[in-house]
Structure 1
Amino acid sequence: MYDLARLPGTTALVTGASGGIGAEFARRLAQRGADLVIVARSGDKLETLASFLRSAYGVRVWTEKLDLSETDAPRDLFEQTVEHGIEIGFLVNNAGGGVGGPAAKADPAGVAAMVQLNSHAVVDSMIRFLPGMVSRGRGAIVNVVSASAFQPTPYLAAYAASKAMVQSFTQAVGEEVAGSGVRVLAVHPGVTVTGQRSEEILGVMAKFCGLRQPEHVVTTAFRALGSRKFSVVDGRRYSLFTGLTQRLPARTTLALMRRITGKTLSGV
């Protein structure tokens, strides 16, 4: 379990922090007294957020304009924190993206960049920042994954697979460090209002399970940090849906997911 009341004096690193879920994580962590390193591709948005957090909560905020879909970016980010003597005690891997459509028509470079961002960058960052947390006997890593991690999804095949890798890795590492004082958690949002195209793509899903807000996702994650869970789905309806798809025969789940994504992503 992780005690959020102990955040003052801790520096948290949040990727994909320029808006949506990442910005909400940054705000709520600053509200609890954590200093911040915020990372995203949009430098202007980062600076705007940083100014607000410094003014509103009196915390220190460093910004890093970086594209984590680039192969060496996670290493560069880690080395920047070491160079500046910044000790990361709370890591939020939120940066991510989606490329959809039939696999037979996919752009290999686009898919490779997405997999790099969604899975490799998360694994790389965890491996680099985890040893320091373990040696200090305290820390937390929250990976923002996706409800898609629980079932293969036609027309979002590589996206769902990249998220499934992070889900598996997070749970395994969480068990490895259990008892060390470090908490590792995967939080799985459903369709969340972030301004990304996923809200349009999964509109059918939202009709069944509803639209979630970034603050819902962060609240779910913070509550789960106080438990022994390694993984949590945001929203009761999404939790029920993912539980159902795991119990159905695989062929039935695949057909269901194809119906959900097919109208907007099949290309026909």
Structure 2
Amino acid sequence: MEEWRGKWALVTGASSGIGWALAEQLAFHGANLVLTGRRADRLAQLADDVSSRHKVQAQTFAADLGRSQAPAEIFRFTEQKRIPITLLINNAGFGSYGEFRKIEAPRLLNMVQVNVASVVHLTHLFLPPMVERRSGYIMIVASTAAFQPVPYISTYAATKGFDLLFAEGIAEEVRRYGVRVCALCPGSTVSEFHDVAGQPLHMAGPQEPNEKVARVGLQALAEGKPRVISGTRNWLSVEAQRLAPRRLVTRVAARMFMPQQ
């Protein structure tokens, strides 16, 4: 990761959770940062912290990726500041817990916008300059939920399935241009995700520290791996699901995640 020293990394969803930890790790390795997220105060706090502790530059740009215009606005900001982005970290995302029919349509569509459309748009904007330079890194934060249907977080799991396949596909496309793409697939982490999703914490299972997830993801990205599952327990769970009948996996997940009446 020494090659990242002095380069610029853009981190979405940097104001909390895995995004915050990824920004910290990148700064530790000497990367300058463009931090985006909805909470300007949290972004400013993070920027001040990493710039003082790690002696890197840090810019912030508050943006809501639930707005379709946000990716273009972020790209325009980096262009105006003449900041060449070497690392794009597509981390922003959220979920909603409950029966699909009972979740309001605007929230579901907003989830698709943030988890899928903004990832595609940002990648489409920042990838061409990387190809021209024959150097670049793109991380897309997916989830272990990407590997199977998950009733009661059905839309979230489907968006993460898209993220995983999208990352693996373009990783092969751009490998010959010196650009590395990796899907990071964490399980449950210590973050605000469950509060935002409305999911009871006891259903989340063992939680990994965000710092560990960030280290695993960035190491895999540096090594050119198209996909990495964070945590041995999560890896074993995904492998076990591959061996079991799909319908059985879905029914077991439904029992685990079914809302309590």
TM-score (norm 2): 0.95
Return the alpha-carbon distance in structure 2 between the equivalents of residues 93 and 241 of structure 1. 25
**Unaligned residue ranges in structure 2 (runs of 5+):** none
1:129 paired residue number: 126
User: Residue 8 in 1 paired to residue 2 in 2?
Assistant: no
Pairwise CA distance, 1:78: 0.9
Pairwise CA distance, 1:231: 0.8
2:179 paired residue number: 182
Q: Could you report, residue by residue, the CA deviation over 1:110-158 in whole angstroms, capped at 9, with x for unpaired residues? A: 1000110011111111111011111101110111111101111111111
Q: What is the identity, as a one-letter code, of the residue corresponding to 2:59?
A: W
Matches within 5 A, 1:98-117: 98-117=95-114
Q: What is the identity, as a one-letter code, of the residue corresponding to 2:232?
A: R
Return the alpha-carbon distance in structure 2 between the equivalents of residues 26 and 159 of structure 1. 24
Matches within 5 A, 1:1-268: 4-197=1-194, 200-201=199-200, 203-206=202-205, 210-263=206-259, 268=261
Q: What is the identity, as a one-letter code, of the residue corresponding to 1:76?
A: E
In structure 2, the CA distance between the partners of 1:263 and 1:108, relative to structure 1 (3 Å rule), is closer
Q: Is the 8 A contact 2:181 2:224 kept in 1?
A: no
Return the alpha-carbon distance in structure 2 between the equivalents of residues 132 and 99 of structure 1. 35
**Unaligned residue ranges in structure 1 (runs of 5+):** none
How many pairs are equivalent? 259
In structure 2, the CA distance between the partners of 1:222 and 1:212, relative to structure 1 (3 Å rule), is same
Pairwise CA distance, 1:205: 4.8
Return the alpha-carbon distance in structure 1 between the equivalents of residues 22 and 41 of structure 2. 18
Return the alpha-carbon distance in structure 2 between the equivalents of residues 202 and 149 of structure 1. 20
Q: Is the 8 A contact 1:202 1:260 kept in 2?
A: no
Return the alpha-carbon distance in structure 2 between the equivalents of residues 205 and 80 of structure 1. 37
In structure 2, the CA distance between the partners of 1:86 and 1:242, relative to structure 1 (3 Å rule), is same
Pairwise CA distance, 1:86: 1.0
Return the alpha-carbon distance in structure 1 between the equivalents of residues 9 and 143 of structure 2. 22
Q: Could you report, residue by residue, the CA deviation over 1:183-221 in whole angstroms, capped at 9, with x for unpaired residues? A: 100001100001331695463451xxx210101111111
